[in-house]
Amino acid sequence: MERQEQTRIALAKLFPAEPVVAAAVAAEGSNQEELPPRLAGVVSQDFARHGSHLDVLCHSEQVVAVAEIMDSEGFFLESIAGVDWLDKQQLEVIYDYNRLGGEHCRVTVRTLIPRIEPVVPTICGVFPAADWHERETFDFYGVHFQGHPNLIRILLPEDADFHPLLKDFMP
Amino acid sequence: MTVPVHLRHDETFVLNLGPQHPATHGVLRVKLTMDGEYVVKAEPVLGYIHRMHEKMAEGGTFAQFMPNTARMDYLHALAFNHGYALVVEKAAGIEVPERAEFIRVITVELNRIASHLLWWAAFLLDLGGFTPLLYAFDDREKIIDLLERVTGSRLTYCYMRFGGVYNDIDDEFITGTREFIKRLRSRLPRFYHDLVTHNIILIKRIKNIGIITPEQCRRYGATGPVARGSGISYDIRKNEPYSVYPEFDFDVPVFEECDSMARYMVRMHEMEQSLRIIEQALDKLPDGPVMGKAPKMLKPEAGYYYSAVETARGSLGHRLVCDGGKNPYKLKLRSPTFSNLSLYGEVAEGMMLADALAFMGSLDLVIPEIDR
């Protein structure tokens, strides 16, 4: 519990009370009844149910700051996943962090970006593991990781001009 | 041993290793920039066996994706079955009978031994030793026969169901497994350690080769035997216990040397630990059904779910996003060797070509799992 609490406090510093921005995020997704919108910030959740202890929703420009905190707390990057929310016209990038031993603590970091201009800063500089995971997310969703040293196709052919995991992709 | 070498970048050449090279065990291509015998830069090129499993997951129901899971890591397919079953059961809140979880553990551990045996055989084949393969395949064949008996297939299993397993194990399987435990235990010291582990040629080839520091493991997200060979005691079966693993008494082998030999030793010891787990599971095997109550059409509550299991190669994660429908809205597979291979370029730099290949073998790559 100590580690979770420490990480939660460290992350919470990134989210000083920001009711104005948070309300804007909430309003954008308010027509979605399946996934109720959440304010940006850190929330502890039931590990047995969701498989992670902390759920962080941050703004796209904060992912590097979050990654730096995770790095200093001794976490490693487990994976990066994209999700296409077609009706909300948003893409979501999910970062999963975990620790190699010690107290068990998994952290999920999520960020929502507009679907027409999907740009997120790269965290390659913090975790080299992100290099391939970001390339994969770019490959499948077309998310542009700003500052990535080598943002090219990784699993699809190098001349592919499509992003197959977008919900409106037609082969 | 990695020797410091004066690299003359103006005289390098590019060597394509793969995609059809026997040492890559599948279709992996590594673009090597060489200065004579020394690797200046190693750049893995992926995707030659990419099949877009994640799109297939979104296109079908939850149950329809189960056969796909075995077609990624074809050496430890039951762990992929298990991981996917666990994440969907978590999302849909399905209870699994105890007997079913015991059978899952027994079959997954048998499969883990088979995977390590095949790795052992292929690794030594890479290093030029052919005979070990014959011993390893002899033992592996016994496991495959046992698993065929309960699962119905030899390699690409689709044995687990949401809420249990598809088939109960019978007395013949139990006696056969007990016999196998005895057999492997008697053969491990003679045919594995005396013949190979203590062999001076092997030691010369892999000791102090391919040093991966614990910090590199963390920065690149390396897990499994790669991390445990670098002194990191991290095994999901212990660190975040799932299924019925907490009921068994087993150790996590950890070696501090960080080299290819350490990774070799981790896997050799893991086989013995898996035997211990199987033995205890057979002793404690409870009676009861092997299938719990699960609805035919699953519609898990909308939300985010993550579940991890320990495969023979490391931490396998399933990131599942549900929108309340009958298909997975998003299923991301975090495959262990994808992350384990990503450190290859950094570590192989400055190695001799033959060492770089020995190092690649020690990572235990399964390409369809990287490419998905």
Q: What is the DSSP string of B85-141?
A: HHHHHHHHT----HHHHHHHHHHHHHHHHHHHHHHHHHHHHHTT--HHHHHHHHHHH
Closest residue on chain B to A71 (Cα):
B219
CA distance A27 to B97: 44
CA-nearest residue of chain A to B316? A78
Return the structure tokens found at B335.
């495959």
d(CA B107, CA B79): 9
Calpha distance B261→A135 (Å, rounded): 32
User: Complex ipTM, two decimals?
Assistant: 0.86
Residue pointed to by tokens 């027409």: A116
Indicate the DSSP class of residue B323: -
Q: Is the peptide bond before B19 cis (omega within 30 degrees of 0)?
A: yes
- Nearest residue on chain A to B240, alpha-carbon basis: A104
Contact B221 A55 (CB under 8 A): no
CB B56 within 8 A of CB A142: no
User: C-alpha distances in angstroms, A159 versus A156, B28, B52, B133?
Assistant: 8, 18, 17, 40
Does the CB of B31 have a partner CB in chain A at under 8 Å? no
> Which tokens in the block code for residue A38?
């959440």
Q: Tell me the pLDDT band of A26, cut-offs 50, 70 and 90.
A: very low
- How much is the average pLDDT of A13-31? 52
Tokens of A122: 């790269």
Nearest to B80 by CA among B241, B318, B244, B327: B318
The per-residue pLDDT for B179 is 93
Distance in Å, alpha carbon of B241 to nearest chain A alpha carbon: 10
Separation between Cα atoms, residue B235 and residue B248, nearest integer Å: 14
Instruction: Give chain A positions within 8 Å (CB) of B323.
Output: 34-35
Residue A82 pLDDT greater than 50, yes or no: yes
- Contact between B367 and B53 under an 8 Å Cβ cutoff? The reply is no
Residue range A110-153, pLDDT digits in tens: 999 998 889 999 999 899 999 999 999 999 999 999 999 988 89
User: Domains plus CATH for chain A?
Assistant: 2-119 (3.30.460)
Least-confidence region, from A14-18, A102-106, A165-169: A14-18
| A113: its two tokens | 């970006």
CA distance B95 to A48: 13
**Residue-range domain boundaries for chain B:** 9-51+94-292+337-371
* Element containing residue B64 per DSSP (H, E): none
| pLDDT at residue A134, rounded to an integer | 92
The Cα–Cα gap between B371 and A166 comes to 19
Closest to A84 (Cα-Cα) out of A42, A113, A56: A113
Q: Read out DSSP for A42-104?
A: EEE--HHHHS-SEEEEE-GGGHHHHHHHHHHTTEEEEEEEEEEETTTTEEEEEEEEEESSSS-
Asked if B88 and B162 touch (Cβ cutoff 8 Å), the reply is: yes
Computed on alpha carbons and rounded to an integer, the radius of gyration of chain A in Å comes to 16
Q: Is the pLDDT of residue A28 over 80?
A: no
d(CA B68, CA B78): 12
Taking contacts as CB-CB distances below 8 angstroms, the residues of chain A near B50 are: 155-156
Which of B:329-358 have CB within 8 Å of A?
329-330, 332, 334, 338-339, 342-343, 346
Cβ–Cβ gap B46/A155 under 8 Å = yes
Q: Which fold, B9-51+94-292+337-371?
A: Cytochrome-c3 Hydrogenase; chain B (1.10.645)
Contacts of A164 in chain B (CB under 8 A): 52, 55
Instruction: Provide the 3-class DSSP secondary structure of residue B243.
Output: coil
CA distance B85 to B152: 18
Which burial class, exposed, middle or buried, applies to B31 when counting CB atoms under 10 A from its CB (0-12, 13-18, 19+)? middle
**Minimal CA separation from B9 to chain A, in Å:** 21
Q: How many CB pairs under 8 A join A and B?
A: 112
Residues of chain A in contact with residue B234, where contact means CB-CB under 8 angstroms, are 100-101
Angstrom distance (rounded) from CA B7 to CA B349: 11
Q: Would you call B261 exposed, middle or buried from its count of C-beta atoms within 10 A (0-12, 13-18, 19+)?
A: buried
> Chain A contacts of B229, Cβ < 8 Å?
none
Q: Which residues of A touch B217 (CB under 8 A)?
A: 76, 100
Mean pLDDT by 10-residue block, N- to C-terminus, for chain B (372 residues)?
A: 60 83 76 89 90 90 90 90 91 90 92 93 87 91 92 89 88 92 90 88 88 91 91 89 89 91 92 92 90 84 89 91 89 91 90 89 89 86
